[in-house]
Amino acid sequence: MATAIGRQRSGLAEALRAAREAAADGRGIWSWLATVDHKRIGTLYGFTALFFFVLGGIEALLIRIQLARPESTILNADQYNRIFTMHGTTMVFLVVMPLSAAFFNLLVPLMIGARDVAFPRLNAFSYWTFLAGGLFLNASFFTGGNIFHGDLGAPDTGWFGYSTLTSTKFSHGHGVDFWVFGLQILGIASLAGGFNFIVTILNMRAPGMSLFRMPLFVWMALVTSFLIVFAMPVIAVALFELMFDRLFGALFFEPAAGGNPLLWQHMFWLFGHPEVYILILPAMGIVSEILPTFSRKPLFGYPFVVFSGVAIGFMSWGVWVHHMYTTGLGTVANAAFGVSTIMIGVPTGVKIFNWMATLWGGAIRLNTPLLFAVGFVGMFTIGGLSGITHSMVPSDYQQQDTYYVVAHFHYVLFGGAVFALFGGAYYWFPKFTGKLMNETLGQINFWTLLLGFNMTFFPMHMSGLLGMPRRIYTYSEGQGWDLWNLMSSVGAFIIAFSVAVFIVNLVLSIMRGQKSGADPWDGRTLEWSLPSPVPHYNFAEIPHVHARDDFWHRKYTEDEAGRPIPVVAGGSDGHEEPDGHGIHLPSPSYFPLLASVGFPVIATGLIYDYALVPVGAALLLVGLYGWAMEPATEEAL
């Protein structure tokens, strides 16, 4: 069978075969380009997202420099609009989403006792397509003329891209085209990842790992993946309509022809609100792992936390109009969505209380991961509560589109998601490197971030309530906004310092971090039963799972009073460790990368010259064909 497939292989595949074999030994750049190992793909996701985080952070600093003083002229209106558009788009699509993908990739197989994800090559395809989409989107900066003279070509319509501003009549240049295709490509990457993780989680669990024994992070990965699979097609449709409007003169959103600009808002937020939970649920999963480990207590009320996560997933589909309260949809629509928005606070509140109860009565180790996780709970709470004030529809008529909203969602997505992601990085870094991150630098990182974050975003509540609208590149003095804006700008630089400390810590710890051993935190879930760094086959023997927090129960038993006592010679030490010999893992493949390269080429063709479209399509088809025809596991390896 394998020989028959081998004979059918295309010439290109033959040419790549030697390189594939070189890649199989796991060294050098070629092995990274062809990797299908979930740990390597997770690492690629993580570093790429970190790169975009720095990029989006620089954009944020430019925004804050411009707004530090009234009547500032450091940026002009046009530059400011392009930069804030790219800041939002970057942070949502190129930072928080892929960082979550990084954690899914690194952890889900380890936590469920699998050797890889269900579709390793599809996983590689997700990453390369994400990278292609991210680079393509940012390439738009160079389309506005001479970038060194400050002529930026990036989209200038906001990350929400409200029609009719995105029409060719009101948005000049190709920025919006790049935005449309960039997001479309990123959507493909997310969809492929979403399907992959649903199948992985449902089908690849080790024996005994029932759904209600899964670590909470895996539950949140599952809910997030379902949200991705259902939400991405909605924005895909909206983007296709916009693409047809812009490229082929369709009139979906053209009011003069009976099109409806609000149609865009409905579709964008029908995607956009689940998207908010796509960003935050993985963070909630991370926190639900860190808090129990560092308190040495199981998660308080596991079923409640699972079900509230699932409830949030469902309810997230019924609240999108709260982004549109002031568009004039009518009192009844606003009333219905006002109540649904109020009620989504309930499952979120449940989680906050359960996390606090997890800490209560624990033996809390105050290390960097724990601090970030607690920081998440504290900051996310503030964001959630300002969310409650937003759900009061009539008073939100005042706060809608002001800096109060900016404060709210940064508390949720930065104080929330990003804090948790930092915590996760400190927590799981030892698992993949065998080294600890530096604790002193970690503490500096946390405390400066907490200070800088609150100094930047708390004042925005005030500037918003004092009537400062969002997305303005300048403001005049005498409106009571100056002090708050200056505070925000100073805070932004403290955040920048903190992120720099994190990057330094990351580099130093990779180079010469202290050895961590397999289980530095007294972990509870399966990944800590493996050696650090994790061998490429993960589990030499697929584990049999007997309980939730299975690894903890291998280390501790309980006496009659319910007090945990350590098992002598517990954990993974003690019993003999088989090596990975004879384990067949999927072979490396270049085809996912090849297929991914096709997308930006097609997009460039659609924007500039149709002649490029068949070239990109050919790359995509060759990639997909080679991928389909290539055997998943090379018997020779």
Partner 1 sequence: MRMNRRTLSRLVVAALLLVLLALLLSGCETDTPKNTFAAQGEVARDQRNLFYMAMWPAIVVMAFVELGLVVTLLRFRRRRAEEVPRQVHGNTRLELAWTIAPAIILLILAVPMMSLLFKLGREPHKDDFVVNVTGVQWQWLFEYPDLKGADGSTLKSAPGDPVIFPAGREIRFNVTSMDVIHSFWIPRLGGKLDAVPSRHNRFWLKADQPGTWSGQCAEFCGKDHANMKLVAEALSQADFDAWLKEKQAGVKEFDGAAAAVPTSAP
Q: Tell the smallest beta-carbon distance from residue 308 to partner 1 (Å).
A: 8
Q: Tell the smallest beta-carbon distance from residue 332 to partner 1 (Å).
A: 9
Q: Tell the smallest beta-carbon distance from residue 388 to partner 1 (Å).
A: 6
| CA atoms of 622 and 401, how far apart (whole Å) | 47
Give the nearer residue to partner 1 in terms of CB position, either 525 or 589.
525
Q: Tell the smallest beta-carbon distance from residue 43 to partner 1 (Å).
A: 31
Q: Tell the smallest beta-carbon distance from residue 450 to partner 1 (Å).
A: 11
* DSSP-derived 3-state class of residue 147: helix
List, as one string, the DSSP characters of 338-359.
Answer: HHHHHHHHHHHHHHHHHHHHHH
Q: What is the CA radius of gyration of the chain?
A: 25
Give the nearer residue to partner 1 in terms of CB position, either 173 or 182.
173
Q: Tell the smallest beta-carbon distance from residue 426 to partner 1 (Å).
A: 17
Measure the N-to-C terminal CA separation of the chain; round to a whole number of Å.
Answer: 17
Give the nearer residue to partner 1 in terms of CB position, either 349 or 631.
349
What are the structure tokens assigned to 164, written together?
């009719």
Give the nearer residue to partner 1 in terms of CB position, either 26 or 566.
566
Q: Tell the smallest beta-carbon distance from residue 84 to partner 1 (Å).
A: 9
Strands 564-566 and 556-558: antiparallel
Give the nearer residue to partner 1 in terms of CB position, either 474 or 612.
474
In single-letter form, the type of residue at position 590 comes to Y
Residue 378 burial (10 A CB sphere; 0-12, 13-18, 19+): middle
List, as one string, the DSSP characters of 307-342.
Answer: HHHHHHHHHGGG-GGGG-GGG---HHHHHHHHHHHH
What are the structure tokens assigned to 323, written together?
């982004």
List, as one string, the DSSP characters of 84-112.
Answer: HHHHHHIIIIIIIHHHHHHHHHHHHHHHH
Give the nearer residue to partner 1 in terms of CB position, either 87 or 115.
87
Give the nearer residue to partner 1 in terms of CB position, either 362 or 605.
362
Query: Of 529, 543, 570, 578, whose CA–CA distance to 431 is shortest?
Result: 529
Q: Tell the smallest beta-carbon distance from residue 296 to partner 1 (Å).
A: 5
Bond before 433 cis per omega within 30 degrees: no
Q: Tell the smallest beta-carbon distance from residue 517 to partner 1 (Å).
A: 14
Q: Tell the smallest beta-carbon distance from residue 334 to partner 1 (Å).
A: 6
CB neighbourhood size of 248 (10 A): 8
| CA atoms of 263 and 278, how far apart (whole Å) | 23
Q: Distance from CA of residue 235 to its chain's centroid?
A: 17
| CA atoms of 341 and 321, how far apart (whole Å) | 9
The pair phi, psi for residue 584, each rounded to 5°, is -95, 115
- What is the per-residue burial (b if ≥16 Cβ within 10 Å, else e) of 598-613? bbbbbbbbbbeeeebe
Give the nearer residue to partner 1 in terms of CB position, either 191 or 319.
319
Give the nearer residue to partner 1 in terms of CB position, either 396 or 630.
396
Query: Of 269, 81, 59, whose CA–CA distance to 166 is shortest?
Result: 81
Give the nearer residue to partner 1 in terms of CB position, either 568 or 611.
568
Residues in contact with 52: Cβ distance below 8 Å, sequence separation at least 6, in sequence order: 90, 94, 95, 98, 134
Q: Tell the smallest beta-carbon distance from residue 464 to partner 1 (Å).
A: 8
Give the nearer residue to partner 1 in terms of CB position, either 415 or 424.
415
